[in-house]
Amino acid sequence: MKKISFLVAVAALGLTVSSCNKDKVSDGIFSNSQIVASQDDAQANDLLDDVDNEADDVTNGNSSLKSAEADTTIYSGRVVVWTVNPDGTRTAVITYTNFVNPHAKNERIKNGVIRIVVTGTRSENTYKRVVTFENLTINGNKVEGTRTIEKTGDYSYKITMVGGKITFTDNTFITRDAVHTRTMVEGQSTPSYIWDDAYTFEGSATGLTRESKQYTKTITTPIKIYTAYRFPVSGVFSLTFNDNLFTLDYGDGTMDNLAILSKNGVSKQIILRK
């Protein structure tokens, strides 16, 4: 559990709302924009991590498809259609209808389409995935952009996000371009089952906040994420915009929905959104 004073923790309870009412929260130390931007960035990370997990789940289960022209898998709200392309790459089109992955504990509902073009398999050095979206929503939040995952080592991957955009349920949005390194730190012994995996993330991102302010994000301590759990359990990132620098600390490894927002030596506990 993250540690912070009782009074600050109680004050932070007001930050867990998901509508634009949260924009009115301020305590004189952290501006409304800083509080909202930190929560937005954390939520965007979680949504994109969820996309990575779905891509892992689908592509790992079909990594042997090479000669067949097509293959279809239907799984209670998720339909996956695989085709082999003339250049040897494979395409998976995943269509979601109110789908909740039973293996994940995040209880997120997906609708829309994820399209994945896969080169090679996870055991090959040339392994690569290019992921795009068609009207994809996760818990009503729309995800856009192109996400490319390339293998760089036995358990390491470079992830590039171009043209990223998250439109929240109140129709406000943030944008993101990013380059991260994703490293598997748990689950190596079960390569065909992803739901016991854990990864660390390093790297940086840039984009616009809901208020169209330019921001820069840098992961200063690797962020650890379990595929079967909703929120990061540890790691720190810094966020800079409007000439202000503050950090968000996910904690010491405890599985909870709390994080510590800090600026100029002052800290506040916030509650992460779904």
Does 211 fall in a domain?
yes
Nearest to 37 by CA among 233, 230, 261: 261
For 108-137, write each residue's pLDDT tens digit: 899 999 999 999 888 888 899 999 999 999
Residue 231 has pLDDT above 50, yes or no: yes
Does 1 fall in a domain?
no
- Report pLDDT for 243: 82
- What ranges in the chain are assigned the alpha helix state H? 6-12, 32-60
pTM to 2 decimal places: 0.83
Whose structure tokens read 């730190």? 185
Question: Structural domain tally of the chain?
Answer: 1
Does 154 fall in a domain?
yes
For 32-89, write each residue's pLDDT tens digit: 777 888 888 888 988 998 999 889 988 876 544 444 445 566 678 899 999 999 999 9
**CA 16 to CA 56: how far, in whole Å?**
30
Mean pLDDT of 158-163: 97
Highest mean pLDDT, choosing among 141-145, 251-255, 261-265: 141-145
**CA 72 to CA 94: how far, in whole Å?**
10
- For residue 64, the tally of other CB atoms under 10 A from its CB is 8
For 169-217, write each residue's pLDDT tens digit: 999 999 999 999 999 999 999 988 888 999 999 999 999 998 898 999 9
Does 78 fall in a domain?
yes
Domain that holds residue 100: 6-271
